[in-house]
Amino acid sequence: MICSWDSWDKPCAAESAVWVHDIFRQDDTLFDPKDVDYIKQVTGAE
């Protein structure tokens, strides 16, 4: 499970609603497709 950075202090019962540090959710779907668009833009990838 993808938890927020403070999960060592607070129990993590569910995936964070706010993006923390990963591009993909636990089910391999994109957290936010705009992240991939941005990465493609800054790297020149198509």
Task: Characterise 22 by phi-psi region: left (phi > 0), alpha (psi -120 to 50), beta (else).
Answer: beta
| Distant-in-sequence, close-in-space partners of 1: CB < 8 Å, separation ≥ 6 | 12, 14, 15, 26
pTM: 0.53
The two three-digit tokens of residue 41, written as one number: 């833009």
pLDDT at 35: 87
Please say if the pLDDT value at position 42 is more than 90: yes
For residue 1, what pLDDT is reported?
A: 56
Instruction: Give start and end residues of each alpha helix (H) in 1-46.
Output: 33-43
Instruction: Work out the average pLDDT over 5-32.
Output: 77
Residue 37 has pLDDT above 60, yes or no: yes
C-alpha torsion angle, residues 7, 9, 13, 17 (rounded to 10): -50
